[in-house]
Amino acid sequence: MIVLRSALFNVVFFGVTFVMTLLASLARLASQDRVLAVAMLWARVLTMAVRVICGIRVEVTGLEHIPPGPALIASRHQSAFDTFVWLTLLPRCCYVFKKELLRIPLFGPLIAGSGMIAVDRDGGGMAIRNLLREADRAVRDDRQIVIFPEGTRSEPGSPLVLQPGIAAMASRTGLPVVPVSTNSGSFWGRRSFRKRPGTIRIVIGEPIPADTERKALMRALVRGLAAVDDAT
């Protein structure tokens, strides 16, 4: 049954993504905000589909820790689910994503067209400078920046290895870092076809002040990202 449900969801996922990409292509002719609105609709449809078809529900705690206006949210990344759920939780979500996604026909240009931030993971110092410039732009646009400080998806319970970009973004923008832990990979695995029923927990921790000393900030972030693991 899990296999059949997972197959059905994949059909819905790709079908909805194709249709929404076409709609966003039209919306792009109007404004960036229209493209973002289509992306938010896409995310809501997928969240409903994964609940109805696969039996995966979402439990979110700590939303009160996200300040109004621009925000810097550092989330654990275990599943493809993490890459769209924030579009349903924030008013003007802005993901930091790997530059390779821009190469996807139709979909790639629309990511950039919705105001998301592309980063070249092999770009070294130049990539960091571009990330900071784009973070400045997102703050001016009143966006909530979602970054996965691990840099890639990880397995549940695996050691946390964080990239330095998050500390640089906090220092540059002056925004506190909001740590987020999740167990999404326990139900929608990193490279798994199967999606198991259950409840994905998203735990939003207390903000870490931007002026926190770098090493202390990273230690506090590790604790925040491990909140779900520590509670199990």
Q: Digits of tens for pLDDT over the chain (232 positions)?
A: 899 999 999 999 999 999 998 888 888 887 888 889 999 999 999 999 999 999 999 999 999 999 999 999 999 999 989 999 999 999 999 999 888 877 777 677 777 778 888 887 766 778 888 889 999 999 999 999 999 998 878 778 777 788 878 989 999 999 999 999 999 999 998 778 889 999 999 999 999 999 999 999 999 999 999 877 655 5
Report all structural domains of the chain as residue ranges with CATH numbers, in order of start: 57-231 (3.40.1130.10)
**Strand, coil or helix: what is 118?**
strand
Burial zone of 200 (CB within 10 Å; 0-12 exposed, 13-18 middle, 19+ buried):
buried
- CA-nearest of 48, 58, 74 to 204 is 74
For the range 122-130, what are the long-range contacts, defined as Cβ-Cβ under 8 Å and sequence gap of 24 or more? 123/99, 128/164, 128/165, 128/168
Query: How far is Cα 108 from Cα 102, in angstroms, rounded to an integer?
Result: 4
Q: Torsion angle, CA of 113/202/180/151, rounded to 10 degrees?
A: -60
pLDDT of residue 195: 92
pLDDT of residue 15: 93
pLDDT of residue 209: 94
How many other CB atoms sit within 10 Å of the CB of residue 107? 16
Q: Which residues contact 32 (CB under 8 A, 6 or more apart)?
A: 113, 114, 115
**Strand, coil or helix: what is 38?**
helix
